[in-house]
């Protein structure tokens, strides 16, 4: 597998925010979101076998693991890696950009599916069938760049009945210092049962 990096940090996003987590970042991505903050993982990385990855993960002695990217589902071996980590008792998060089918991800893994808002420029790449394959523990993320993105995300939530899952609204980091405040005001005004998610790792100075 082409692995860009494996590291331990605090989980900066999702409902697991703040917990120690081992990240397996796979290299390569099929999208080019306007606000992408991991462009460095588009290329590069090094070849690692699944046993090598598992040894690297185990060295951090942390029960929570996230497979991320790039886009991890571009590599077919990700499903075998996921199964092996689950077999070893890890709680596994798998974050995907939502453009590829998620049906082969092991049931016990917690999927975090990013639904691309118009501000990303990638909203036409969404695999909408994924929203029919969600488990109760799976989470949905919208990265919000402005009020138009917010309104669009609210429409998608209603259209697909997503509030039975944890729904995360994440402001584009660095675009507008007041964006998080604005999103919180919109959520409160609409009494929308979603979770505002500020990227914790960018505030505490770790990965």
Would the pLDDT of 207 be above 60?
no
Confidence (pTM) = 0.93
Q: What is the pLDDT of residues 57-98, one digit of tens each?
A: 999 999 999 999 999 999 999 999 999 999 999 999 999 999
Q: 168: domain CATH number?
A: 3.20.20.70
| Residue-range definition of the domain harbouring residue 46 | 2-204
Name the domain count of the chain: 1
Would the pLDDT of 190 be above 60?
yes
Structure tokens at 181: 């405040």
Band of pLDDT at residue 199, cut at 50, 70 and 90:
confident
Rounded distance, CA 45 to CA 48, Å?
A: 9
Average pLDDT value over all residues in the chain: 94
Give mean pLDDT, residues 23-27.
Answer: 98
The more confident residue out of 200 and 147 is 147
DSSP string, 103-157: TTS-TTSEEEEEPPPGGGT-GGG--GGGGGS--TT-EEEEEE-SHHHHHHHHHHH
Band of pLDDT at residue 173, cut at 50, 70 and 90:
confident
């Amino acid at each position: 597998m082409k692995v860009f990096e494996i590291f331990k940090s605090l989980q900066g996003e999702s409902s697991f925010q703040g917990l120690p987590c081992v990240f397996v970042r796979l290299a390569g991505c099929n999208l080019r979101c306007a606000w992408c903050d991991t462009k460095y993982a588009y290329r590069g990385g090094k070849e690692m076998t699944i046993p090598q990855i598992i040894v690297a993960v185990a060295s951090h002695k942390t029960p929570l693991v996230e497979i991320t990217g790039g886009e991890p589902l571009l590599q077919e071996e990700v499903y075998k890696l996921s199964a092996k980590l689950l077999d070893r008792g890890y709680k596994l998060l798998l974050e995907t950009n939502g453009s590829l089918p998620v049906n082969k991800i092991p049931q016990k893994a917690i999927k975090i599916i990013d639904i691309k808002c118009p501000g990303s420029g990638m909203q036409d790449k969404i695999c909408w069938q994924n929203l029919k394959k969600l488990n109760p523990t799976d989470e949905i993320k919208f990265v919000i760049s402005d009020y138009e993105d917010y309104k669009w995300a609210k429409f998608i939530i209603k259209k697909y009945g997503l509030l039975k899952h944890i729904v995360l609204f994440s402001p584009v980091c660095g675009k507008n210092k007041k964006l998080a405040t604005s999103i919180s005001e919109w959520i409160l005004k609409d009494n929308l049962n979603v979770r505002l998610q500020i990227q914790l790792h960018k505030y505490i100075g770790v990965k």
